[in-house]
Amino acid sequence: MNKFMIKPEIIFGEDSLNYLQGREYKKFLIVTDRSMVQLKLVDKIIEKLPKDSEIQIFSEVEPNPTVDVVEKGVKELFHFQPQCIIALGGGSSIDACKGILYFGNKLFESLGKENGNMEFIAIPTTSGTGSEVTSYSVITKGNSKIALAYDEMLPKVALLNPEFMKTLPKKIIADTGIDVLTHGMEAYVSQNRNPFTNAIALEAMKLIGANLLKHYENPKDLIPRENVQYASCLAGIAFNNSSLGINHSIAHSLGAKFHISHGRSNGIVMPYVIEVNDEAEELYGEIASQLGLPGETPQEKRKVLKIYVEMLKEKLEIPKSLKELGIDFEEFKRLIPEILKDIKNDICTTYNPNSLNDEEYVSLLLKIYFGE
Ligand SMILES: NC(=O)c1ccc[n+]([C@@H]2O[C@H](COP(=O)([O-])OP(=O)(O)OC[C@H]3O[C@@H](n4cnc5c(N)ncnc54)[C@H](O)[C@@H]3O)[C@@H](O)[C@H]2O)c1
Ligand SMILES: [Fe+2]
């Protein structure tokens, strides 16, 4: 039996924040990070909430949120007991909020308390992880990342507003934008793909192809900014239903061990994964055609797609390899057994087109390190 789900209500457009005006709650908890407070993006939310409401801000989330942050947030949730919880930020804030809600609800249950069915609204400020429409949450424990997936973590409402992306630094536009392309690509070649996810993933990739560089070069231009936001959300819907692949499993491990941002580590890994996934040759060929790339046979098209990704990375100033990023080879070599373990334990590995053995993984990791 198969399932395709489009669950969160998606509120979008320049006036989408008006949705908050209609919330008839008295207690709101906003889960976010310090930059959102400093950049006054939190104020845009507060301005819209009912004047007489009690608002608590939990702004301790950091990139690649940890178990500790989730624990602190659960305490906050437990003491404040909000009626509505709003996650504002990139994937880190939204994922942390999901973890807080999930483990918070478990705590309420274990104590036999009512959790009051809090409304969960996710407002992304990066484009992005698509976390606003997924039931995934990626939490860092020690030097590993754990990808959790529970339907209970899916937001009730995803609120998209391009206004929040105006303050994004170029490096974050590059990293998060290449993450969207990885989501679309992994959803499209996944062994768990279906006609619904295919259509959505392709549209997301086409929007990225047409808009990411424009958005990177001119972050203040509304149309490309808005289109990259739609692409991010679409790719999230696609991979939430089809799952991802080893591009993400490898990026999760590398990101946690070498403190590389999620999108950047996915971007570094992507060309080498396209090359290793020969079981999906036809599908990569279809992606290349949809992106308007040249090539006659699927084999040629897959090669051209890899070159396209390499060129896009160059324009976005994303390093070719871990070596170029400055990672020490001895340290990398020492961690290979742990990286292998992480990849095998990652839920994203399940539906990757190719199943790799240890030797193939090591050879792939060395390519990712040396960039050849
Ligand atoms: N849940 C999912 O489905 C899913 C999918 C992919 C990745 N992830 C996870 O999401 C996290 C990465 O999220 P991300 O890439 O969105 O980055 P992020 O949330 O870690 O944010 C990166 C940096 O950008 C800043 N920032 C965010 N929005 C900004 C804005 N509008 N203006 C200025 N600065 C801004 C943040 O303060 C932070 O310093 C990782 O932990 C990754 O594992 C989750
Ligand atoms: Fe991702």
Q: Which two three-digit tokens encode residue 99? A: 């973890």
What is the pLDDT at residue 111? 86
CA separation, residue 15 to residues 71, 96, 127 (Å): 34, 26, 18
CA-CA distance, 75 to 58, in Å (whole number)?
11
Under the banding of pLDDT at 50, 70 and 90, the label for residue 48 is very high
Instruction: Average the pLDDT over 73-101 and give the result.
Output: 96
Between CA 41 and CA 348, with CA 203 as vertex, the angle to 5 degrees is 75
Are 175 and 317 contacting, i.e. CB atoms less than 8 angstroms apart? Answer: no
Query: With the C-alpha atoms ordered 252, 253, 257, 258, is the resulting torsion angle positive or negative?
Result: negative
What is the model's pLDDT at position 112? 81
| pLDDT tens digits, one per residue of 260-315 | 999 999 999 999 999 999 999 999 999 999 999 999 999 999 999 999 999 999 99
Which pLDDT value is given to residue 7?
85
Average pLDDT over residues 62-73: 96
Q: Which atom of ligand 1 is nearest to the CA of 252?
A: 43
By mean pLDDT, which of 55-59, 137-141, 268-272 is the weakest? Answer: 137-141
**Ligand positioned closest to the Cα atom of 33:** 1
Is any ligand 1 atom within 6 A of the Cβ of residue 127?
Answer: no
The residue whose CB lies within 8 Å of the most ligand 1 atoms, and thus the one to mutate among 172, 233, 252, 342, is 172
In short, whether 136's Cβ falls inside 6 Å of ligand 1 is yes
Q: Provide the strand spans (E) within the chain.
A: 9-11, 27-33, 54-61, 84-89, 119-124, 136-141, 144-149, 157-159
Distance, CA 13 to ligand 2 centroid (Å)?
A: 24
| 167 CB within 6 A, ligand 1 | yes
Beta carbon of 33 within 6 Å of any ligand 1 atom: yes
**Nearest ligand, measured from the Cα of 70:** 1
Centroid of ligand 1 to alpha carbon of 112 (angstroms): 34
Best mutation site among 144, 225, 262 for ligand 1 pocket (most ligand atoms within 8 Å of CB): 262
Going by pLDDT thresholds of 50, 70 and 90, the confidence category of residue 19 is: very high
Quick one: pLDDT at residue 68?
97
Q: Considering only CA atoms, which of 116, 120, 115, 155 is closest in space to residue 135? A: 155
Average pLDDT, stretch 137-148?
A: 89
Residue 1 is predicted with a pLDDT of 85
| pLDDT digit string, tens, across residues 208-259 | 999 999 999 999 999 999 999 999 999 999 999 999 999 999 999 999 999 9
Q: pLDDT over 70 for what percent of the chain?
A: 99
Ligand nearest 161 Cα, by number?
1
Ligand 2 centroid–CA 335 distance in Å is: 22
Q: How confident is the model at residue 352 (pLDDT cuts 50, 70, 90)?
A: very high
Q: Which pLDDT band holds residue 334 (cuts at 50, 70, 90)?
A: very high
- Rounded Cα distance between 312 and 267, Å, is 10
Q: Is the pLDDT of residue 116 over 70?
A: no
Residues 334-370 as b or e (16 or more Cβ within 10 Å = b)? ebeeebbebbeebbbbebbbbebeeeebbebbbbbbe
The ligand with the least distance to the CA atom of 40 is: 1
Does residue 22 surpass a pLDDT of 90?
Answer: no
DSSP-derived letter for residue 66 is: B
Q: Which of 31, 125, 233 to mutate to test the pocket of ligand 1 (most atoms within 8 A of CB)?
A: 125
Mean pLDDT confidence for 120-135: 96
Q: Is 49 in the pocket of ligand 1 (CB under 6 A)?
A: no
Give the model's pLDDT for residue 372: 81
H/E stretch holding 208 reads helix 195-217
Q: What is the rounded average pLDDT for all residues in the chain? A: 96
Among protein residues, the one whose CA lies closest to atom 28 of ligand 1:
125
Please name which ligand lies nearest the alpha carbon of 247: 2
Domains and CATH numbers, the chain: 9-165 (3.40.50.1970), 169-370 (1.20.1090.10)
State if residue 90 touches ligand 1 by the CB under 6 angstroms criterion. yes
Determine the pLDDT at residue 71: 97
Q: Which residue's CA is the closest to the ligand 1 atom numbered 2? A: 131
